[in-house]
Chains A and B, each alone.
Chain A
Amino acid sequence: KAGVTQTPRYLIKTRGQQVTLSCSPISGHRSVSWYQQTPGQGLQFLFEYFSETQRNKGNFPGRFSGRQFSNSRSEMNVSTLELGDSALYLCASSLGTGGNTGELFFGEGSRLTVL
C-alpha cells in the first residue's frame, strides 16, 4: 500500500512569491492534515480537510490556504511568502472517521526555503 506522497520535496522561493504544495494521501484515507515544522516551534497545525471540506484550522494567517479534491488529494498554498515561512511542510492522512485511533500517517514533507 503506497504511503503519503508529497511534491515537491524541495523548493526555493523568494519573498513575495507564492507556492503550492501537493499531497496524495494513502488510498482510502479521506482526511488530510497539514503541519508546518520548524526547529524553534516544532510541528504546528495548519488545517485539516475531510471530504473536500476544511474541518479544522490552526492559528495561521490567511496567506496560508488549502483545498481538497474529490479523490482526497490536497494542496496547500502560501501567498506573499515571508522569510519566516521557511520550514518543512508535512502532510498527514488518516481515515478521519470515528471508531479508530485517528493515527496520522505522514509524508516525507516539502522543504521550503524563502530567500
Chain B
Amino acid sequence: GQNIDQPTEMTATEGAIVQINCTYQTSGFNGLFWYQQHAGEAPTFLSYNVLDGLEEKGRFSSFLSRSKGYSYLLLKELQMKDSASYLCAVRDLDSGYALNFGKGTSLLVTP
C-alpha cells in the first residue's frame, strides 16, 4: 500500500505564493501527479513528475525528490479562482496505471 500525506487545509492571500507539500511512501514509484478540484467539479490535471526536479507550467510549478518521497506544488500570483482542493497522487508499478490519491489540501485564497 501507499501512504500519501498532505495538509488538510491552507489559507493564503491573493497575489501571494503558496507551497502545498506532499509526502509519500511507495515500493515501486512510477510518477507523481497533482490535480485541482473545484467544489462540485471533476478533478483536472495540473502536473506530472517522474524525475527529480522542478517542472514549471505558468503560475504553477511542481517539484519532486524521489529519494525523500517528497513533492510540492507551488502556486504563484494567487488568484481567487485558485481556491480549490489540490490532490497529490502517486502511481506505483505494482498498481499498473491506477493512481493512489492523498486526501487533498483545501486551499482558500482570501482578498
Q: Is the CB of A56 within 8 A of B33?
A: no
Q: Is the CB of A48 within 8 A of B98?
A: yes
Q: How many residues of B contact A (CB 8 A)?
A: 22
Flag the segment in B16-24, B41-49, B66-74 that touches A: B41-49
CB < 8 Å: which of B41, B99, B101, B102 contacts A108?
A: B41
Q: Mark A1-43, 1 if CB is under 8 A from B, else 0.
A: 0001000000000000000000000000001010100000111
A96 to B49, alpha carbons, bound, how many Å? 18
Chain A residues whose CB sits within 8 angstroms of the CB of B99 once the complex forms: 33, 45, 102, 104
Alpha-carbon distance A44/B89, docked complex (angstroms): 11
- In the complex, the answer to whether A42 meets B102 with C-beta atoms within 8 Å is yes
> Which residues in B have their C-beta under 8 angstroms from that of A108?
41-42
Q: Number of contact residues on A: which range applies?
A: 20 to 34
For residue B76, give the distance in angstroms from its CB to the closest CB of chain A.
Answer: 22
Q: Is the CB of B43 within 8 A of A48?
A: no
Asked if B96 and A90 make an inter-chain contact with CB atoms under 8 angstroms apart, the answer reads no
A106 and B48: CB pair below 8 A?
no
Contacts of A94 in B (CB 8 A): 97
Q: Does A66 contact B (CB under 8 A)?
A: no
- Residues on A lying within 8 angstroms of B by beta carbon are 4, 31, 33, 35, 41-45, 48, 50, 55-56, 58, 90, 94, 96, 101-109
User: Which chain B residues have a beta carbon within 8 Å of chain A's beta carbons?
Assistant: 31, 33, 41-45, 48, 50, 87, 89, 91, 95-104
21 sample A-B contacts, Cβ–Cβ < 8 Å, listed by A number: A33-B97, A33-B98, A42-B87, A42-B101, A42-B103, A43-B43, A43-B101, A43-B104, A45-B98, A45-B99, A45-B100, A55-B97, A58-B98, A101-B50, A102-B91, A103-B33, A104-B43, A104-B99, A105-B45, A106-B42, A108-B41
